[in-house]
Amino acid sequence: MNHAVAGAAVPSAPRATPAWVLVALAALNTVTFVTELVTAWSWLPTVGHVLNPLIAALAVVLCWRAARHPTTPAVARTVWRLTAAGMAFIASSITVRLVTATGMSEVPAPVHTVLQVAGAILLAASIVRIPLGLRTRTQKAELALDVATLVVAAGVLMWHLVVTFAGGEITRSTVSHVAPVMAPALMAVLLAAKAALAGSGVVPRRALYLRAVSALVGGFGSAVGVLLLSVRPDVDVQLVLNPIASVTIALSAHLQIADAARTGAPAPRPRTFSTLPYVAVVAVAALLVRTSVQDAPDRLVVVAAAVTLTALVIVRQLLAFRQNAALLSVIGTHERQFRLLVQNSSDIVTITEPGGTIRYVSPSVLRVLGRDPDALLGRHVLDLAHPDDHRVARAAVGSVAATSGAAVTYEMRLRHADGSWRWLEVVASNLVHEPSVEGWVSNARDVTETREVQERLSHQATHDALTGLANRVLFGDRVQAAVASAAPGERLSLVLVDLDDFKSVNDTLGHAVGDGLLVEVAERMRAALRTTDTVARLGGDEFAILLTGLDRDAVDAVLVRIVDALLAPVEVDRHRLVVRASFGVVEGVRGDDPAELLRQADIAMYEAKRRGEGGFQRYRPGSQPLGSPRAAEDRAPGDGVDVAPAAAARGSDPAA
């Protein structure tokens, strides 16, 4: 079966000009025929004989076009090839009649009959080749019963029509005349029923209905023609019926292309419910009443047909009841499976009104949040949400509120029954416009442990494992952000800190004592700073501090507070230690290079360390790194460096 490829260009719909030309020619032919019935104009039949083969030829063209169109499924192409071949024979037969009727040439009668019969067989074969789209034996039995109902009803209706037309008498002669009339008509009903009730989807539904009409017109045309000969032998009813059959076939071919071009290749669909068998039963019931009231001679035939139809309907309904019972059993099984799936799922499934009121919540909420599902019904979905997450949830839902069927994913915290907060990942789908839901369907799963692991990994990537302070990466990011976001005129201070003579602690007392000392130093620095400040361990015994929004005096006060805090004795593993550190300070403003600020703070810090008495010193333009030719020159203290007051520098405790 051919299907349109996603993303490929779908052929455009065919031009409707040939179809409209056919309709116009058929309308003209019908007007001509009606005029012929009410007038005595002898030239009118010639017009009909000329229009008939032209209409049939155009129908052949349209059917062949449908057979070759790229959007036509392979099975449907076979149907339209047979239809085009059948219409070609019919067009040839009608042309032979034109030649004979106009006296242009004498063609033997069997030629016309052979061509017409061959065309009718091919057209019937094309309808037979239309797939039914049925998968089960029950569906096939139901179709057979529906077709049988239509055929029986059509047969008794035609029987009554012919008998009435014959004067109401039922004789052997009447039966012999009725059989040739009813045979093609019943075959037409059978084919029309097949076309109308087929439901595979390879041929559009509208095209199938037109094929059914063409079969009825072709089959009943023969019956009507025979009956009309006894009244108006001068009127050839085929002149009006053949174009109608040809036009309906041509229009069905046009719809095959038009529907496929509009929507792509038609997807197979199951056979839908049809009212035709019930209409047929009602028609026979009405006929039964009429023949009973009028005491018609064929009432027994009508009664027999009504009984037969009743039996067919009963069997059909029994099959329907059986199919419904099986369907209900399947639905019940699926419903139980779905209920068990929802009840045993670790995810919370919630259905809420458009305003947020909870209409349904799955039992898993008891396991995830420790709450009774029934107690949550009627409450707003955000009643349990963390206040800081209300805006996130409303914004996420609002982003797809206007799009039916859209879904959005977000995370929020909900309060557990024990008072703790649990992180949930929520997938909310907008099904407000879905009649069976008319609300929001949310699926939430507990991601608390996942978030904790992610936060722990993130913290480990940006913090020192020993002290818990920010590491070099995070400190660099903080400095970069501070320089970029500083207000005009706002100053920031960058401080590098190095513990004096720390190596001797590791060498003499061991690394465990050294690590304990670093942890205590980190804690004292953190305690001496504001929560908006940043203190980091860059590595070894080197620390860094970022201070924002403080003038020089305030920075000095902070540093003095840190120095005093560090000078308080530290007891680590029964060793009493006093820490002395060297501080290098540099000031920065908006737009400064963070790397340059760190380099300048490093120069100032090593200058303080070179003095050998601890304390802090500020960088001044012109200072050189330790070891450069200029820095190696003898110079007075403070040349290029601001020296902190003596009170800020403390020595180590000899008792340590």
**pLDDT, position 599:** 92
Q: What is the pLDDT of residues 355-408, one digit of tens each?
A: 888 998 888 888 889 999 899 999 988 888 999 999 988 888 888 777 888 888
* Nearest by Cα to 425 from 407, 408, 412: 412
The Cα 468–Cα 460 span in angstroms is 9
Q: Tell me the catalytic residues.
A: 541
Reply yes or no on whether the pLDDT at 572 is more than 80. Answer: yes
Q: What is the SS3 string spanning 59-99?
A: HHHHHHHHHHCCCCCHHHHHHHHHHHHHHHHHHHHHHHHHH
* Nearest by Cα to 258 from 2, 69, 6: 69
What are the tokens at 526? Answer: 């953190």
Q: What is the pLDDT of residues 465-505, one digit of tens each?
A: 899 999 999 999 999 999 998 888 888 999 999 998 888 88
What are the tokens at 324? Answer: 């419904």
**pLDDT, position 147:** 82
Reply yes or no on whether the pLDDT at 561 is more than 50. Answer: yes
pLDDT band at 221 (very low <50, low <70, confident <90, very high): low
Reply yes or no on whether the pLDDT at 535 is more than 80. Answer: yes
What mean pLDDT do residues 36-41 have?
Answer: 68
If you ran DSSP here, which 8-state letter would residue 470 be given? B
Reply yes or no on whether the pLDDT at 189 is more than 50. Answer: yes
Q: What is the SS3 string spanning 352-403?
A: ECCCCEEEEECCHHHHHHCCCHHHHCCCECCCCECHHHHHHHHHHHHHCCCC
The Cα 377–Cα 265 span in angstroms is 46
**pLDDT, position 172:** 60
**pLDDT, position 229:** 58
Indicate the pairing of strand 615-619 with strand 581-588: parallel
Name beta bridge partners: 296. none
What mean pLDDT do residues 240-264 have?
Answer: 80
The Cα 540–Cα 585 span in angstroms is 19
Q: What is the pLDDT of residues 593-650, one digit of tens each?
A: 999 999 999 999 988 888 877 778 898 786 666 544 434 333 333 333 333 333 333 3
Reply yes or no on whether the pLDDT at 3 is more than 50. Answer: no
**pLDDT, position 486:** 86
Q: How many CB atoms lie within 10 A of CB 408?
A: 19
What mean pLDDT do residues 109-130 have?
Answer: 83
pTM: 0.49
- Maximum Cα–Cα distance across the chain: 146
pLDDT band at 222 (very low <50, low <70, confident <90, very high): low
- Domains in the chain (CATH in brackets) are 345-454 (3.30.450.20), 463-648 (3.30.70.270)
Residue pointed to by tokens 């129908």: 59
For the purposes of burial, counting CB atoms within 10 Å of the CB of 527, is it exposed (0-12), middle (13-18) or buried (19 or more)? exposed
